[in-house]
Amino acid sequence: MKRFVYINEDDSIRELYRDNRISNRKYTVFNFLPKNLWEQFSRFMNQYFLLIACLQLWPLITPVNPASTWGPLIFIFAVSATKEAWDDYNRYLSDKKANEKEVWVVKHGTRKHIRAQDIRVGNIVWLRENDEVPCDLVLLGTSDMQGLCYVETAAIDGETDLKTRVIPSACMGIDSELLHKIKGVIECPDPDKDIQRFDANLRLFPPFLDNDVCSLTIRNTLLQSCYLRNTEWACGVAVYTGNQTKLGMSRGVPEPKLTAVDAMIDKLTGAIFIFQIVVVAVLGIAGNVWKNTEARKQWYVLYPHEGPWYELLVIPLRFELLCSIMIPISIKVSLDLVKSLYAKFIDWDHQMVDPETGVSSHAANTAISEDLGQVEYILTDKTGTLTENKMIFKRCCISGIFYGNDNGDAMKDMLLQDAVSKGFPDVIRFLTVMAVCNTVVPTRSKNDQIQYKAQSQDEEALVQAAARLHMVLVRRNMNVLDIDFDGSTLHYELLDTLEFTSDRKRMSVVVRDCQNGKIILMSKGADETILPHAYSGQPIRAISEAVEQYAKLGLRTLCLAWREMQEDEYHEWSLMFKEASSSLVDREWRVAEVCQKIEQDLQILGVTAIEDRLQEGVPETIETLRQAGINFWMLTGDKQNTAIQIALSCNFISPAPKGLLLLIDGKTEDEIHKSLECVLLTMRTSEQPKDVAFVIDGWALEITLKHYRRAFTKLAILSRTAICCRLTPSQKAQLVELLKFCEYRTLAIGDGGNDVRMIQQADIGVGISGREGLQAARAADYSIGKFRFLTRLILVHGRYSYNRTAFLSQYSFYKSLIICFIQIFFSFVSGLSGTSLFNSVSLMAYNVFYTSVPVLISVLDKDLTEKTVIQHPQILFYCQAGRLLNPSTFAGWFGRSLFHAIVVFVITINAYAYEKSEMEEASMVALSGCIWLQAFVVALETNSFTVLQHLAIWGNLIAFYVINLVVSLMPSSGMYRIMFRLWRQPSYWMTMFVIVAAGMGPVVALKYFRYMYRPSKINILQQAERLGGPILSLGSMEPQARSKEKEVCPLSITQPKHRNNPVYEPLLLCDSPSSSRSRTQFDFSQSKTRLSSTYSRNIKSN
């Protein structure tokens, strides 16, 4: 579909499209309540609690006051609704500010001020310097004589470098006074969210241009939320408005991610629900049998001889209401609250602030922090993620002659400087291509120094290097490039630009040399896209060797080429190029096809080599996370050898002979299949544990995923390390999806727009706020300033979050189950009638006040100090394996709640029942026993006490008595004077002591036994911390210096050999087998017990 935008037409035509009103609100005043309630009740647990609350409105079956369920339910819904309303109100204020901003618009040939929301499609909008662009515009004119303007696109892609935009060729030369009267039509696609593409055509009506078609691209647009910079004024016609702008279309609510902990909680909730149904059925049947056999014999029961048809349902429904608290109503709110705090801890972590840029870490997704502690695979980009993305021109090869090999820097190579000064033709052509074949814009600083604005770091490095070698790009005048070479000015007329794409992997320009009138095609790109297009007979062996040599050094390579064109050849091609550029359907494909026709018979001039250094701390970070049992895959668009060298430098793989790389390659499907099967066989059968990785490029991966996906999936399960080169963004996302299909927890990290799909596909997406902008960071769940902050993000924040959530979720079930079990036991002494031991006020306060505060403070708990956790990353295994939250640990909490319920009930019944006191007193004694036990349970499970935790645990106990003393003063509460009578009885306090001693004694004894005689590795570390003894060190985290020989040593790249089953067991609290570090006095490897020696998380049997 497409739309036609008529420039400066009347309002009747503009009514076809919506106005420029922006609305990011989720609700309105009228639909807030029904829509919010619908969203909340779309969750199963909320539906369940609503059903229970409705059943409690039936007086015949409810054992307690309906307020005991309705109160917490309304409170929880109110909290969620309030949060949603507040967020939506803030969105409304932001929209209102944007909508009411005043802008200049041309109305009836004159400029007028209107509100931004009143802009219509077809209006001409006038902008001044530093104005924000109110909608998507097609440029018509600027204050610059060349038709250029500069925009800041940080709000869209996060890139702070200014970008150039240019008016369409059809508008060149139109006087600014005539822009008010311009008429024409723009044929463009319907709104979409692709901010990198705009395929449209412009026709201006006479007298401006006689209906000639002018193609438009994204370079002719100003997108909403950009800012006009360094340009006095610019004007454009509105093509997309309101929420139909590219930015508005890209907004949206991402799909919620389900963490492994949430999935486990859902399963446990389902198990408890089934258990509850069984208990209700058994007690319901038993209650009906007792009613029909024994109850009718008791005169005081007053059961009628004949009841209604639903009589058999009354007792089962009573027990359903009585047992409904097995599933804690407050668990979701509690988890949401603590997860928000986990996210804030990440935001507040001063140790994760980049000292260079001041960028701090940020958690955009507050719901998945615990998943960070269960990461098994990290898939990382290379450029800008592992490296600094600061490009430095280091070496080059021109016509087979190497420059910069001796001293490692071509700029200091006297041989190259002599070649430039003597004007060697090949060298001059090489430098000319470096200076001309780009989209760099030179600007002048205040002190009249030339500064280059480039969208690509590689282009900027090449242009700066050419300038240092006296080939200086001075200015761009319209379509003319001025080059200063040794004091003389060279002029090149830019005829056409053949832009770089991820498919073409090259860029070309067609220019006319104004000195001699010759037409020249200049190209630069990857070797596999340039060398095959060399003219027949050209010796390119030296160029290929140079590419390989530079790649082994970890340098980024680009091949430069050119050729002269004849006038008639260019004229014929130009018509085809113009036609393809004007196409609204498959424009990119058609343009690429036309470009292919001219980029032939090239003269290869040479190769450039650019250094992109590793970020500080990358090798140490990867080594630490590897010891934590995390596997790494590198997904990059770079050359194979470059990626391998970077992988060597950052501890991805070990150098030969220890490291072994298995290549999956081939020219045909058959060859790739054989290579894949060979690598798979090697992985399965090797007898020696080696550091093995496989390497695959984009072509082989495409064939593999299409035809041999099953075999590649098996390889992915077996492999700890992979290097995937020459990948497209979609292939990166496919690999993430593959690992997720194998049920691994994946983390994808990148820094550029080409990493967004991979980041969004992963269980956890991490974006680096780097030199390529903030596109990745904005699309990610977490953003960090540098790769090295992954260590703290995973080992500290991820692990703590998992531990705390595991405790909180299981404790929430425990505190609900203990009350429910007491209710069930009481039914056996109350004729299985479904009568509640506790009154409604106590039950309502129990979940909302008495037991919530202490557990929420558990967000401050730390089982080990941060220093110890980072020193011993292997303990992350407990989180990865789900050791703290699984059916076994939940069974332990289930058993504890059953045991404590028995203790409380038996002691309470024997001390206060059977005519010794009123039922209300026995109820309060049982409730007090539960509160006392839970206080000691929380204290026992707390590892690090702070003042806040002490206040929460013991202060909450005091608050329990204060609240009940106050409630006991109210005659209508059903507890009148109860607490005052108990308070004064020594037997009450003796009962509390016996309950605590009997309930906590076995628990403490079991915990002590495990701690002393069957300690986990975490227990051993805790003991070491408390004793203050030396802890086994895993070595310095400082970057290790590498000799130049070690940097360039060749890697053993062989065809697959034998390899054993790569089941990986992290070496808990001991050195890596590849290290030779000495041990300190406190050697934990001599512990009496060990974890299972068969940690097989890498092979999923289920």
Distance CA(874)–CA(879), nearest Å, equals 10
Cα–Cα distance for residue pair 87/83, rounded to 1 Å: 6
User: Rounded distance, CA 445 to CA 449, Å?
Assistant: 5
32, 254 in Cβ contact below 8 A?
no
β-strand pairing of 603-614 with 556-565: antiparallel
Assign residue 400 a region (left: φ > 0; alpha: ψ between -120 and 50; beta: otherwise). Answer: left
Tell me the C-alpha distance between 182 and 65, whole Å: 75
For 649, phi and psi rounded to 5 degrees?
-65, -30
Residues paired with residue 521 on neighbouring β-strands, in sequence order? 510, 563
d(CA 1035, CA 1075): 9
Q: How many residues are given for the chain?
A: 1102
- Do 136 and 248 form a contact (C-beta atoms < 8 A)? no
CA neighbor of 434 nearest in space, from 464, 455, 458, 462: 462
The C-alpha angle 450, 453, 459, rounded to 5 degrees, equals 105
Cα 13 from chain centroid? 43
Compute the distance between CA of residue 195 and CA of residue 249 in angstroms, rounded to an integer: 10
Q: How far is CA 904 from CA 52, 132, 955, in A?
A: 26, 68, 22
Residues 6+ apart with CB under 8 A from 864: 875, 943, 1018, 1021, 1022, 1025
How crowded is the C-beta side of 241, counted as CA atoms within 13 Å? Answer: 25
**What tokens appear for 876 in the block?**
């992350």
Q: Quick one: how many helices (H) and strands (E) in the chain?
A: 37, 34
The DSSP symbol for 924 reads H
- Concatenated DSSP letters for 607-634? EEEEEEEEPTTHHHHHHHHHHTT-EEEE
Residue of 877, 872, 843 whose CA lies nearest to 1094: 877
Sheet holding 2-7, edge to edge: 2-7, 184-189, 200-204, 213-216
Host H or E run for residue 495: strand 488-498
The answer to whether 666 and 707 have CB atoms below 8 angstroms apart is no
- Paired with 634 in beta bridges are 380, 723
Detail the DSSP E strand segments found in 293-386. Answer: 362-363, 377-380
| Type and span of the H or E element at 165 | strand 163-166
Q: What three-state secondary structure class fits 28?
A: coil
Amino acid at 892: G
Mapped onto helix, strand or coil, the DSSP state of residue 836 is coil
* Whole-angstrom distance, CA of residue 251 vs CA of residue 631: 33
Do residues 483 and 472 lie in contact, with contact meaning Cβ atoms separated by under 8 Å?
yes
- Residue 24: CB atoms within 10 A of its CB come to 14
d(CA 1086, CA 935): 36
Torsion of CA 852, 853, 854, 855, to 10 degrees: 50
Residue 912 phi/psi, 5° resolution? -130, -5
| Residue in the structure block whose two tokens are 């590649």 | 712
β-pair partners for 908: none
Active-site residues, by number, are 381
Cα-based angle 1001, 1003, 1005 (whole degrees, multiple of 5) = 70
